[in-house]
Each structure stands twice: as structure tokens, then as C-alpha cells.
Amino acid sequence: MTLTVDQPTPTPSADVCAEPDSLDALVASLPERDLTQDELLTIAQRLAERPHLWRDLVAFDDDRRHFVQLHRDGHVDIWLLCWTPVNDTGWHDHDVSSGAVAVAGGALVEHDLVLGGESNERVVTTGGSWAFGPDHIHRMTGLDDRSVSVHAYSPPLWRMGQYTADGGVLRRVSRSYADELRPID
């Protein structure tokens, strides 16, 4: 197991969402095409830095992770996710979508799948962020109580793959983007 701690990520320069003061302004600034990982990272970071745009949507539950879709169009999907240390997505991918995550409060642990060994773990704290491609398989858990993150995906999520090991064989189950991810192993 590898454990790394991410510090806040510098915001990449991108023309998307220069200085949104409302969710509508951010959405209006998006290009009408699928977005790059850098653009997704910028969107997630900018929203995470502006809690006045989503603060009233925050809620926490140990039994069921709370998540709210902030925006969806033909090119991008944006979510607010709320975490407790009990919340766990299980191993999953995002099918054909690239994505980005920005931690707006608290800390999350991203576990990268390693076959034949323990997962690589990365702690991402408030202000930290990362992006990934559609080939990325990971598991996410809340580290701090009352953690909050902003996620952006392009193309928009439609299906996700969820994984379990059955007799030493990795198996993928297709899930709807609207389903709550939980461990199935």
C-alpha cells in the first residue's frame, strides 16, 4: 500500500468558467463540446472554492452517501457529494467518461486498484483535486466526518462499472449513473 497526501492543487489555466458568481454563469461559460480533463478539473475547483453556490445542498448520512446533481447537459455532468468516514463507493469506473474531483471540505481517500496487492491510497484534503480518464478504476472513502467534494464528468455519466473479486476473478457489473455506489464485495 502506498499512502500519499495531496496538498491543494494549483488551478490550471483554462478559459472555462473564468470567475463564476452563480451556477448559471458557470454553466453559460462552458464550451458546447465534451471537455478535457484539465477543463473538468478547473470546473470542479472553481465550484469547490465557491461554497455559497452549493452550501444549502449539503447533508450527511452514514447509511447512505448524500449526492446532488448540480448540472447536466449533453457534454458535462456536475455533482456535489457529501461524505462521512463510513461512506465507501466500492471499486468502480466511469465507463466512457473522464472526470475530476475537488475536495471542498474535509478529506477523502482515493484507492487505486492494484491487482495482486493492496491498493495505492491517496489522501486528498481541502483544496486538493485530481482528474482521471475513462480507464481509471478506483474506490473512494470519506476520511474526515462531514467531507464535501465536487465532481465533474465529460461526456456526462450514463453508466458506471462496479467491480468485485469472485474466486480471484475480477468481475464488472454495469450500474446507472443515478445509483448510489456501495461496495459489492
Q: What is the pLDDT of residues 60-98, one digit of tens each?
A: 999 888 999 999 999 999 999 999 999 999 999 999 999
**Dihedral over Cα of 39, 60, 138, 9: its sign:** positive
Strand order in the sheet with 129-132: 66-72, 77-83, 147-154, 98-105, 129-132
CA pair distance 105, 60, nearest whole angstrom: 13
Q: How far apart are CA 100 and CA 42, in angstroms?
A: 9
The full set of domains in the chain, from first to last, is: 3-158 (2.60.120.10)
Grid cell 492543487 in the structure block, residue: 9
Q: Is the pLDDT of residue 164 over 90?
A: no
Taking only the tens place, the pLDDT of each residue in 95-151 is 999 999 999 999 999 999 888 888 899 999 999 999 999 999 999 999 999 999 999
pTM, rounded to two decimals: 0.86
> Among 145, 143, 107, which residue's Cα sits nearest to residue 125?
107
Contact 157, 177 (CB under 8 A): yes
Query: Which range, of 17-21, 22-26, 124-128, 129-133, averages the lowest pLDDT?
Result: 17-21
For residue 50, pLDDT over 50 is answered with yes
17 Ramachandran zone, left/alpha/beta (phi>0; psi -120 to 50): left
Give the β-pairing of 169-176 and 159-166. Answer: antiparallel
Closest CA to 92 of 179, 26, 16: 179
**Residue 26: phi, psi to the nearest 5?**
-60, -50
| CA atoms of 67 and 46, how far apart (whole Å) | 18
